[in-house]
Amino acid sequence: MEMLKAIAIGLPLTVLVTILALMIGTVVALPIVAGLRSRNRLIWLMSRGLVDLLRGIPPVVWLFMLYYGISIGAVRLSALQAGVLGLGVVAAAYLAEIFRGAISAVPKGQWEASSALGFHRATVWTRIVGPQTARAAIPAYTTFAIGLLKDSSIASTIGVSEIVFMSSQYARQSGSGILVFFVAAGIYILLSVPLGLLSRHLDVKMRKAVAR
Amino acid sequence: MEQLMIELNPQTTQPVVQVKNLAKAYGSNVVLRDVSLSVAEGSVTAMIGPSGAGKSTVLRCMNLLEQPDSGEIVINGHCINAGKKTSPKSLAALRRSAGMVFQHFNLFPHMTVLRNVSLPQERVLGCSREQANEKSMELLKRMGLADKADQYPSRCSGGQQQRIAIARALALGPRVMLFDEPTSALDPEVGVEVLEVMKELASTGMTMVVVTHEMAFAENVADELVVMADGGIIEKGHPGQILKDPQHERTRRFLRAVLER
């Protein structure tokens, strides 16, 4: 019980890191997607390079670089800031690819019908392509979010006191060995299974709405 | 039909659609060579020919879904020259004058039938939701689909979906309707529903350009028949005349293939 309490102290930070990183990732992904779809070769090349750079380096290395390596002026990033930022930019690269895929899954005919009807570009994105993209992206997006929830444990390496950090601290102090990590595993499962269920529920609901 | 047309539009001298010297190539693959065509107000033009002849490309160039390499397109007085840069304004004006119906309908799957027909009116014509819905219901009734208004397109048959697509295009009040093989993706029986609607539309004096393989429609409904092959127009004129007595060997070969199967 005492063990559970000790670990649970890390729960808010796990959730916080995950949510903030997901938000940063989602927002930063949008201009990257625009760049990946750009017909301007330079912009495309830069976006492509950025995605490959962000994805190509392990998240833990990003976190170390941000935490130990970067100081903006006299200010150094806190462990939480570095953790959220690092996981956020890596998430942006993956999410950009997910969004790009979802956009290209919208049939060409939808674009053509929109053009033929004379819709403005903004209308096409907000009313036609956007909603269909969001729908197509939901399964991959939640899969990524669940992955990110677990990857947030990487932030423990730079001292963010989330679940894994608290668990290893407890293990060291109490000498309870491996058991504490089983409990931590249980907490992660309790967090990720509902997310998966929610995703499937949303997916089924949207499919039904369209095929009523 | 032609007489009726003249009565309806006594002082019309300008055709609704004019295509001049249209040419297009994908690399070394020439899809259109020097195609010129004009469509009179209130007339129905059927375009036939073997696949790959460039029929659909001509139609898609008319509202610039395809960008021609050279040539000129005039619809309802809005002129677009392939050589010059097109302003978004004249492009919008040209597209507003032309309603397009696709082979695969291209309805918006995430909206109800009613929203499919109403949204373009709201966004393009600036109608209020009520105005748009009223007009949409009127058109859906005319298409025999009033009971489908609250359904999603995926719950409608192909023939119903195509009629919804026709309603969606008509809702914007186009001067000419462009049909790109509207029945080719449909079962023959279902295609009949769509052809009936198109016939009715033609009888109201709507100017129509129809790319089709439906020879009966071409013969009975069209005022003008255009035969294309290898990226060019090889024959055009009165449908009955051409079908009875084709002048060109390529036309004869095509007609033998479609009529004697």
Looking at B29-43, B85-99, B130-144, which range is the least confident one? Answer: B85-99
Within 10 Å of residue A78's Cβ, how many Cβ atoms? 13
Within 10 Å of residue B83's Cβ, how many Cβ atoms? 9
Domain coverage including residue A154: 2-210
Provide the number of structural domains found in chain B.
1
Provide the number of structural domains found in chain A.
1
- Which pLDDT belongs to residue B36? 95
- Which pLDDT belongs to residue B67? 92
- Which pLDDT belongs to residue A71? 66
Contacts 24+ apart (CB under 8 A), A194-199: A195/A142, A195/A145, A195/A146, A195/A149, A196/A142, A196/A146, A198/A142, A199/A138, A199/A139, A199/A141, A199/A142, A199/A143
Considering only CB atoms, B155 lies closest to which of A115, A128, A211, namely: A211
Residues lower than pLDDT 70 in chain A = 71-74, 209-212
Q: In CATH, what number is assigned to the domain containing residue B230? A: 3.40.50.300
Q: Which residue has the tokens 């462990």?
A: A79
Query: How far apart are the CA of A187 and the nearest CA of chain B, in angstroms?
Result: 37
- Residues B123, A123: C-beta atoms closer than 8 Å: yes
* Cα B133 to Cα B116: distance, rounded to the nearest angstrom: 10
pLDDT, tens digit, for every residue of B114-135? 999 999 999 999 999 999 999 9
Q: In CATH, what number is assigned to the domain containing residue A187? A: 1.10.3720.10
Instruction: Locate the chain A residue with the closest alpha carbon to B92.
Output: A118
- Residues B65, A110: C-beta atoms closer than 8 Å: no
Q: Quick one: average pLDDT of B34-62?
A: 94
Chain A interface, best mutation among B103, B112, B114, B123, by max A CB count within 10 A: B123
Chain B interface, best mutation among A110, A111, A112, A212, by max B CB count within 10 A: A112
Domain coverage including residue B193: 2-259
- Which pLDDT belongs to residue B11? 46
- Which pLDDT belongs to residue A74? 67
pLDDT, tens digit, for every residue of B148-171? 999 999 999 999 999 999 999 999
Q: What is the DSSP string of chain A?
A: -HHHHHHHTTHHHHHHHHHHHHHHHHHHHHHHHHHHT-SSHHHHHHHHHHHHHHHHS-HHHHHHIIIII-EETTEE--HHHHHHHHHHHHHHHHHHHHHHHHHHTS-HHHHHHHHHHT--HHHIIIIIIHHHHHHHHHHHHHHHHHHHHHHGGGGGGGT--SHHHHHHHHHHHH--TTHHHHHHHHHHHHHHHHHHHHHHHHHHHHHHHHT-
pLDDT, tens digit, for every residue of B3-31? 444 444 444 557 999 999 999 999 899 99
- Residues B168, A212: C-beta atoms closer than 8 Å: no
The full length of chain A comes to: 212
pLDDT, tens digit, for every residue of B208-252? 999 999 999 999 999 999 999 999 999 999 999 999 999 999 999
Chain B interface, best mutation among A39, A111, A112, A117, by max B CB count within 10 A: A117
- Which pLDDT belongs to residue B5? 47
Region of A73 (left: φ > 0; alpha: ψ -120 to 50; beta: rest) is left
pLDDT, tens digit, for every residue of B182-215? 999 999 889 999 999 999 999 999 999 999 999 9
pLDDT, chain B, mean: 91
Query: How far apart are the CA of A110 and the nearest CA of chain B, in angstroms?
Result: 6
A interface with B, Cβ–Cβ < 8 A, is 107, 109-110, 112-113, 115-120, 123, 127-128, 131-132, 135, 209-212
pLDDT, tens digit, for every residue of A130-141? 999 999 999 999
What number of C-beta contacts closer than 8 Å exist between A and B? 62
